[in-house]
Every structure is written in structure tokens, then in C-alpha cells.
Structure 1
């Protein structure tokens, strides 16, 4: 049976692959310290789970409107107004089966063959694959650890051509935890608005933010930027609801309608019960989010302090999300127990095979001088895992 070319060009998610390999080893009786997880290690809050139980008891087990139930879409509008200073109508909201699904819908209705999409690197692995699925060309712009992995206005301007259709923004970001300031977004936004370039702004880590950092949505900076932007968000990360699969997009009316129409012929509505739980997540108490952020901040600080104390490691202190992205370029070209370490992929292979520590090499995100560690795991795991990583890095010759 012949596969379509688009199917042949899809690369599997390296992050999920690493996680699956680590879990397979664990199932075989091997203790693995897994830093690959892209989900909080906290349980879904009880009030959210109970909302789902009540929805089942009430018989909320049928189809819903494709774009989501009206109360949830209205709650999302209220949230966007209160948290982000953005005014939307429920008809401009499309609820989907996770933020990844929301992104897929947005890329599919905005991009086509011949378009170019500017994608700053390091990037979340799925952006690249979803751009490729549309037939558009990803234009990858590398950022530097010295710039905290932030795209500069000069880099953005240089990447724009007559074919540029879209710019992908992720703040707070995965894998770097980067948070753009309002001034930085204004500088990028001025260029994007002047060139009439559409924006996908992935804000899924919005509530997981630390220190004096503040999340700003680029869509809130001007009416013109709002008209160019599809805002992507969801409940997965902030409320520890990754398995519930609810994401959403806020977009100009024609774009929202196109996304809903596309969804009507793929998945139909997102799960009815998960929608009820998400309504409670957004409108209910936010105490669990605050507790989770406080714990993540402690883990982040410990992890960054440990990594930066290792000779040859450069590690920015992330402003959001739950990842660090240390740069080990200075240590590459060496070896460990006869194994060549020429890039982070080699380092990941050695760490998993020899010390049973799972990290995600930066090649998955467009920079194989770095690797990603998630601090969405216990402090005990973090301590033990960093001990083993330090052991390997200090033994490189």
C-alpha cells in the first residue's frame, strides 16, 4: 500500500520517544530517572475531577457543538479579558482536543504550498512537523544562549521574504522557558504588523511563570496585532490536565470559523466530559496553580544552580514553563568511557544506557549543543538525576 508523501515526511516526536523508552526500561525493572516528561507531576485538582464526575452523572455524554459548549467558550472569553486584556466573542473561540490539535487546525487553515513560516529555534518539536504537513516551508532562525534564546528584531526582519505568511511565537517557551517582555514583543510586533504577517502565539505555559516575569500576549499590544494573531492556550499544563485533552484558540472570526469547519470533519467536538472539567478549571479556584508554581520555582532554582556549577555548562534561569535547556557546547568533542560525545544526542544515549537517566537531546528542538531537562518531577529524582549527570560530565575526557 502506497503512503502519501506527507506521511513519509513526518518525523516521530523525539520527546515522546525518549519518554516511551524510559518507561519501557522502568517496566522491565530498571530504575530510570526520567527528565523527559512534558507534563506536571501533580494530580488534577479534586474540584476539576468532581466536575467531570457530575457531568457523567447528569448524562453529559453526547455530542456538543463542534467548537465547544457555550459556557466554556464564554468562560474562555472572560478569562482572556481578565488575564490578557483581550476582548473576544464566543464565536471566535474554538475548543479542540488539546492545544496541539488547536495548533494543527491553525496551521492547516493559514498555510499552504509556497508559504514560508518563520520559526525561531530552539522550537517545540511539533511546530516544525505541523508546518511541513501544510506544504509550507519552515524558515528556522537560530537564537543564542547569550540572548536567552530570544529572537531579535534584526533576526526577524532578515528572515522576512515576499513569501512569509506566518510567524510562530511561544512565550513562555518550550524547551527554553523563555519569557518575552512587553517591550521585546512590541519590537517584534511592529515588524510583523508592518509586513502584515500572521502570528500563532502559543501561550499554553502562561500561568507557569516565575519571579518578576509577567506574561504578555502579543495580541493585546494593538488592534492590528490582534487581527493578525491566533492565540493558542489550554488547560493541560496549568491545571495538570494533560490527559483530558482540551486546548483552545482565539482568533479573528473568519479564521475561527475555518478552524471549526476543519475540526467538524476531523474530530468533531472535543470530549464533552473534559469540557465540563475544563469549565471548572477556568472558573474555579486557582489555588492549585499557585501551589504548583511555587513548587516548580524551587525545583527550577535548585536545578539551575546545580547545572551552572558544572564546568563547561551554561544554563539560563528560565522565566516560565518547567524546563531548563543547558548548553554543553564547551564539553562536546570529548568522550566518556570510550564513547564519543560529539553532541547532545550522544550524551543522551550514554546517560540512558549507562546511568539510566533520560534527557531529551536538543536536536529535537533544533540545537544539538543543548539538552532539555523537565523539572516536572520530584525533588528526589532531580537530586539523584543531577548527581549522575554531573558524574558523567565531569568524567568527559
Structure 2
């Protein structure tokens, strides 16, 4: 029988998938790989992935786990000893008292976030998202049929939303607030005083929950990390999300978790039971070893990230028109590049927005970065600094040279 020539068109797909945008970080990485496959030397600064290997002691624990027979299905919320270790970590490092039943281990922090959104949001509920935000927040809200209310922090305040701005945005339909600290993409870190003011607003609105994304907790250049759930009056309103990908260079292991009041944890467990069930057995044993091994390896990586941040900042400050605050954490630089809008490329094309500029830099400088529109900030571009020093130096030499060609 001859193969059918019929092709699948969007009309065959669900409205929800047609409405959903592809992750722009993944899309740009895909374009970079296409050029690299043609033999072009592309420096990829689009992906938020540590360039370090997972520490050896964690990898050894995974090998031992396989030999010990940890190859079966796991409990949906995670192994009990791992959840206890996470609870111990939260108490030791974050002053948050939780029991294992408050913890749900997921296939990455992204699934933990999605579980929480899907468990809380009904059609028409409003979700206040602090912008600039991680690219998947808005799509998760859309999938849950909620309405995103974007709240943009001022560049002059390191893109951080204030308590007053938050209070002004709350309506009777507000159900959830989402933010990250340290922030992807800006690297901004909320201080204790700033979070205390936000906590006071949340306390006055007991119908609202907050999804606090702390995946970059360890990559902090200013010292103290503060969890919003530390403010006792709102602890039950806060869902804290974290994981192992950034601090322990365990991106491919896909282990994240959330900590929340029992009713929310149970709801997320129910959601996960119908989507993926329990997280990979061997990856969970590796995560347990990571926690048991302490923070030494993480602190060594943070020292390198700080050096790279300073290296890139020095180069960015030499580029006319780039405006960026100094990141206090994470591993990104997020400059406002709107000074280049309206300029023309050597080929005669007009740079109309940050997406055009990111594409120009990919094709001209062979440096991959991500359009800030994906993060709710259309005047900006995100560059990852999670690359080797020599790669970062070369990338910004190329970027500066390419920008100088714009008319």
C-alpha cells in the first residue's frame, strides 16, 4: 500500500497545544545546533545549563544504586528517605519545618511548578507573574486556562517588583503569584526586607497562594538567600519549588521538588500520579547523595559563576547601548538592547525588536542568545554565562564587532 501523503495540520490538534508556544530557550538552542551541524562555530549562550560535570560522588552513588537494585517503580511523591533528606535540608538551610508528607519529588523543578499550577488554577483565575519571568510560567498558566497578569519590575530596581506594585495588581480573581529568586533571566535576588513587605501583602489576602521558584538558590553572589515561606504568617500560602539541576549540575538527572501544606502536596501527588508517576529511581538515589554530600561542590561552582559574571559585565559595559543591572545570582546577563532597534544590518534588514537582534547575532556573530520577549521583557536579550571563560570572552568580542556593523 502506498504511503499516505496526508500531513498533520494544526486543525487536527487540540486548541490547548495550538495556543501553547514552544520554549524559546529550546527553540534558539535548536537553531544553534542546526548551524553547528553545518560546521559553523557557534557559541551557545542560550541554554541555562551548567557547563560543569555532575560531581563524582553523585555519579558514583547512581552506579551503586543500580547495583543495589534500585531499578523498579518508585513511590509517586518520591522515596521516603529522599523526602526526609529534603525536609532536613529545608530546616537546616531555610529554617522551614516540613515533614516528608509535605514534599513531592518530581521529574525536574519544571514538573513541580506545573503540578502546582494545574492543582490550583481554574479557568479564568488570575495569576500574577513577576516579570521578567522564566519562559514556561505563562505557558503553564495558559494550559491551566488561567489568565496571566504580568507585573514588570523596573530596571532601576533590578527588575524587582515591589510590594506596593503587587498590592495594586491584586483583584478578586487573583489566585496565585509566581516569581523566582534568584531570578531567571535577570539574576535579581529579593532581600529579606523586600520579601517581608511582599509577605505582608500576601497575609492580607489569605485566598492567594504564592509559587516561589528557588531553583537558583545556591547561585547567589550577595550572601543570604531568603525563602518567602520563612514568614510564618504566610507559610501555608507558599509553595516552595527547588531542585538539583543548577546547584549540583544535575540537569539531565531531572529531579526537582516542592514543599507545601499537606492539601497542596497531596493534590500535586495526585496530578503527578496521572502524568508521570514517580521520578527515576537512580536519579533519586543520586539526589539523596547530593544532599548528603553538602554544599562544597556547589560553592566551588558558584565561585566560577561569580568570576564569569564579572568577566561578562566588564565586556557588556564596553558595548554602547547595552543597559543591564549587576546580577546578584543565577548565571545570566539580561541587557536592555532597545538602543539597537531601528538599525539596519549589512544586508539591509531592519532590526525591529530583540528577536531580530538575537537572530542577527546568531547568523552574524554566531552567538546564540534568547529574545527577551519570551521572558516578558521585549526590550531585552538573555545571555547565559554558564560557559567557559574563553568562550564568554570570544562571544562578546564577536557580539561587539557585529553590533558595530549595524547602520
| Shorter-normalised TM range | over 0.9
Give the 3-state SS of the residue equivalent to 2:57 in structure 1. Answer: helix
Which 5+ residue runs of structure 2 have no aligned equivalent?
1-10
Give the drift of 1:392. 2.2
Choose which of 222, 232, 238 in structure 2 pairs with 1:229.
238
- 1:202 corresponds to which residue? 213
Q: How many Å apart are 1:342 and its aligned residue?
A: 2.2
Q: In the TM superposition, what whole-angstrom CA distance separates every residue of 1:155-187 from its partner, at most 9, and x where no partner exists?
A: 111211000000002000100011000000111
C-alpha distance in 2, partners of 1:395/1:192? 49
- The aligned counterpart of 2:130 is 120
1:21-63 CA distance string (max 9 Å, x none): 1122112211101111111000000000000000000110001
Local SS of the residue matching 1:127: helix
- Secondary structure class of the residue paired with 1:29: coil
1:275-286 aligned at under 5 Å gives the runs 275-286=284-295
Is 1:53 equivalent to 2:63 in the alignment?
A: yes
1:396 Cα offset (Å): 2.7
Task: State how far apart, in whole Å, the 1-side matches of 2:234 and 2:264 are.
Answer: 14
| Long gaps (5+) in structure 1 | none
Asked whether the 8 Å contact 1:304–1:316 carries over to 2, the reply is no
1:376 alignment partner in structure 2: 386
Q: How many residues align?
A: 395
> 1:250 aligns to what?
259
- What CA RMSD, in Å, does the superposition of the two structures yield over aligned residues? 1.1
| TM-score, normalising length: structure 2 | 0.95
CA contact (8 A) 2:105 2:255 kept: yes
TM, length-normalised to structure 1: 0.97
Which structure 2 residues correspond to residues 125-204 of structure 1 after superposition, within 5 A?
A: 125-196=135-206, 197-204=208-215
Q: 8 Å contact 2:364–2:402 — kept in the other structure? A: no
Question: What SS does the aligned partner of 1:341 have?
Answer: coil
Whether the 8 Å CA contact 2:240–2:259 is kept in 1: the answer is: yes
How far did residue 154 of structure 1 move? 2.1
For 2:89, the equivalent position in structure 1 comes to 79
SS at match of 1:339: coil
Give the CA deviation at 1:332. Answer: 1.9
| Distance in 2 of aligned mates of 1:226 and 1:28 | 52
User: Of 249, 264, 267, which aligns to 2:273?
Assistant: 264
CA positional deviation for 1:262: 1.2
Structure 1 runs of 4+ with >6 Å offset: none
User: d(CA) in 2 for partners of 1:155 and 1:68?
Assistant: 38
